[in-house]
Amino acid sequence: MSSGAKRRRQPSRNPRGGAAEGPGDVSRPGVVPRPSDVDNEESDALRYEAFGRVMAALAAEADAVESCRDLSWWLGADDAWNIEWRDGPYAHELAALLVTRLTESGLDDLSHYPGHHTLEVLGVSVVLHAVDPLGLHRSAARPGLWRLSQALDPLHHTSARRPWEELLGG
């Protein structure tokens, strides 16, 4: 075996006689550690837990969600969740509803300033964006809006065809 091949297989030595310290070697003193993968996994888990709690609270607000169109969400570059919808309630109205739902569920790590559209859930920012909002009261009174709660009401029978009868041709 040539000396070059042997050198490539053996760890290089520093002048003081120890193994070479590279930027990824955190076991050596004097080396600045990089963020741990464990910390990244924990922060990702916390970020998704916060998002899951917000979406569960949003799902519980059926009237508000039904009035929204084009609901979308994404994780921003600042590690804040962004939730956006068209029509439906104003962002501060939905934020107030979500705060009520989240506090009822027993969440303690929550901060919100009345009138604002940003929530802090478990230390993770959730920014609400309403595009062309109508408001809760106007969207509930809007004609032509098919309301699931009305469609599922067994006591409300009229001679008018129901939306699913129109779709199915019945």
pTM value is 0.59
Q: What does the pLDDT read at residue 118?
A: 92
Question: Which is nearest to 119 in space by CA: 64, 89, 80, 87?
Answer: 80
- Write the CATH number of the domain with boundaries 46-142: 3.30.460
Neighbour order of strands in the sheet with 118-121: 68-75, 81-87, 124-131, 118-121, 110-112
What was the pLDDT predicted at 138? 72
| Domain map (residue ranges) of the chain | 46-142
pLDDT of residue 125: 94
Residues in the chain with pLDDT values less than 70: 1-39, 139-159, 162-163, 170
pLDDT value for 26: 45
Taking only the tens place, the pLDDT of each residue in 27-52 is: 445 444 444 444 688 888 999 999 99
What pLDDT score was predicted for residue 31?
45
pLDDT of residue 148: 52
Q: What is the pLDDT of residue 82?
A: 96
